[in-house]
Amino acid sequence: EAAKAIQLTEDSSLPKATRSKIGKLGALRGQRVTVFGWVHRQRTQGKDMRFLVLRDGTGYLQVVLTGRLCHTYEALTLTAESSVRVVGQLEAVPEGKSAPGGHELVADYWEVLGAAPSGEDAFNSRLNADADPSVLLDQRHLVLRGETASAVLRCRAALLAAFRDHFASSGYTEVTPPCMVQTQVEGGSTLFQFDYYGEKAYLTQSSQLYLETCLPALGDVYCVAESYRAEKSHTRRHLSEYTHLEAELVFVDFDDLLNSIESLICDTIDRALANPEVAALIQQLNPGFKAPKRPFRRMDYSEAIEWLAEHKVEKTLPDGTTAPYVWGDDIPEAPERLMTDTIGEPILLCRFPAEIKSFYMKRDSVDRRVTESVDVLMPNVGEIVGGSMRISDMEELLEGYAREGIDPTPYYWFTDQRKYGTAEHGGYGLGVERFLAWILNRYTVRDCSLYPRFPGRCLP
């Protein structure tokens, strides 16, 4: 009752407060400020002092409530995740104490804007720590508020910006290809099909074919677009919808392509680490992370088959017996991971047999059995990039369609690239969530997506 009676009012005789985001408070030390945010954590000290850690998406701020300010009904019933407005003096933290940013807000007025529930429906009860992962996925919208999930999203934004900076400074033009398409790129078995005004259409698996059409118009191009794969495999690196960073380069050879992939990865990381805030977030999530050394190890598919034989890594046959991998076999995720983790450094795995690769890949001029193709393999994640030189000869492309049983009719526009001034070109696609899982040392790509999609999950 007594608490209910206490009403705080703003003291109009105090200096006018400057409204600021937490991340920008550095410049306002010693001044009176207004801050909006959510109660991230709180603790009381005696009955006359309460510390809040406030969060507004730009940073964390310690708030000190003293005396009357922590005796109000709102103070006594304050719950984590309530939104508040706080006004007060921004002071350096006392000698020997630490707080985010090195300062604390000594409040002279505060109010609750939106209270969060207490009891059974309290924020922390919804996120019961020992709950199984599907509970956390159901509550993803709340999980995002946590320090880890929000740090991942912040790094994601910084790395996307760094990718774009890399491309802009290297003379590429960004384009935005369609997601609704009528052609496949990476095989029919992972296509999401839907009804498009009575016609059969798909969600795109890759924007590659569209990027190729841009080369004669814009020169080197790239895009950041969602790609869709109806993956039946439940693995820690497969999503049904993922962010695909793709680039296409013209008048290049295979070696140029490999160098450009290496340069994209290394330059993006250098750009991100050059920002101290981003570097700190990366260290928070993946302590000890170091940018990889150039040049990356280059290895041919045939050498990988030999590596597996030498290390006695074998495949399991349908009858349960095992046999060595032989030239021509697709190397599945598990042995690929084992090899990459054992070698322990980035690998550019090159020259896969044509039969296990897509219809558009150019063959090696010397060994016609293999393609000028590359996968970038990273320790702890495996493949993060897939790329190749593209067939530039029209007849050869028509053979590629035939080999894969693809009707060339809806691909007329793609074939036309070979008809109207063909040019040697190549490109690649990088899975953004896999790249993040590698740099940020996340167990699964699901943790690197805002709202991950995989079989059985399309909510929230």
Residues 401, 391 contacting (CB under 8 angstroms): no
Strand partners, 386: 375, 429
Structure tokens at 395: 């007849």
- Give the residue with the Cβ less far from ligand 4AD, 183 or 275: 183
Residues 424, 396 contacting (CB under 8 angstroms): no
CB of residue 452 vs ligand 4AD: minimum separation in angstroms?
A: 10
- Give the residue with the Cβ less far from ligand 4AD, 185 or 191: 185
Cα gap 213→87, rounded to integer Å:
56
- Give the residue with the Cβ less far from ligand 4AD, 63 or 211: 211
Cα gap 170→391, rounded to integer Å:
24
* Other Cβ atoms closer than 10 A to 445: 25
- Give the residue with the Cβ less far from ligand 4AD, 81 or 246: 246
- Give the residue with the Cβ less far from ligand 4AD, 38 or 428: 428
Cα gap 404→407, rounded to integer Å:
9
CB of residue 269 vs ligand 4AD: minimum separation in angstroms?
A: 16
CB of residue 244 vs ligand 4AD: minimum separation in angstroms?
A: 6
Q: Which of 452, 6, 459 is nearest to 229 (CA)?
A: 452
CB of residue 428 vs ligand 4AD: minimum separation in angstroms?
A: 5
Residues 439, 287 contacting (CB under 8 angstroms): no
Residues 21, 9 contacting (CB under 8 angstroms): no
CB of residue 362 vs ligand 4AD: minimum separation in angstroms?
A: 12
CB of residue 242 vs ligand 4AD: minimum separation in angstroms?
A: 4
CB of residue 349 vs ligand 4AD: minimum separation in angstroms?
A: 11
Angle made by CA atoms 136, 142, 147, in degrees to the nearest 5: 95
- Give the residue with the Cβ less far from ligand 4AD, 123 or 228: 228
- Give the residue with the Cβ less far from ligand 4AD, 101 or 427: 427
Angle made by CA atoms 402, 404, 410, in degrees to the nearest 5: 70
- Give the residue with the Cβ less far from ligand 4AD, 69 or 239: 239
Q: Which of 155, 163, 133, 233 is nearest to 438 (CA)?
A: 155
CB of residue 437 vs ligand 4AD: minimum separation in angstroms?
A: 9
* Burial of 403 (C-beta count, 10 Å sphere; 0-12/13-18/19+): exposed
User: Which residues would be at the binding site for ligand 4AD (CB under 6 A)?
Assistant: 185-186, 206, 208, 229, 231, 238-239, 242, 244, 246, 383-387, 427-431, 433-434, 445
The phi, psi pair for 19, rounded to 5°, reads: -80, 130
